[in-house]
Amino acid sequence: MTIVTETEIEAYAFCPNSRCDGNTQKKVKALKTLVEFTYMDLGGDLPGVERSTAYLKFKTTKQSPCTVCGIPRELSETRRRKYAPTVINDKVMDPKALLDYMPDRFAEDYEPEYEVVE
Ligand SMILES: [Zn+2]
């Protein structure tokens, strides 16, 4: 028999658009649904859980939209790592500078706040 367990956890919500100010992770109450498949579920005859998967969702749908841009936020159980800034020739590089050169699903809506000099 598949085991489904839902528990309330503290998770980190963030806007998936890395250029949005809502991209900073914020602690929120969320629900974690753990679905466990036993060996017997999958045709075996041993006791115990063979595999499992976990889903995170917001406790209420009002928590989902990004407060800055309005697109649905995502959830993570772990806090995002912060890496030391990259320094090249004594110049600190903008960690998001590569985003200006990489097309992504948000590129159409993105307008840089500075003038590009070529
Ligand atoms: Zn956003």
Domain ranges for the chain, please list them.
Answer: 3-79
| Host H or E run for residue 91 | strand 91-92
pTM above 0.75, yes or no: no
Q: Tokens 């841009």 map to which residue?
A: 69
CA of 74 from ligand 1 middle (Å) equals 10
Tokens linked to 29: 């109450």
92 CA distance to ligand 1 middle (Å)? 26
Share of the chain above pLDDT 90, in %: 63
pLDDT in tens, 53-97: 999 999 999 999 999 999 999 999 999 988 888 888 888 887 777
C-alpha of residue 93 to centroid of ligand 1, in Å: 23
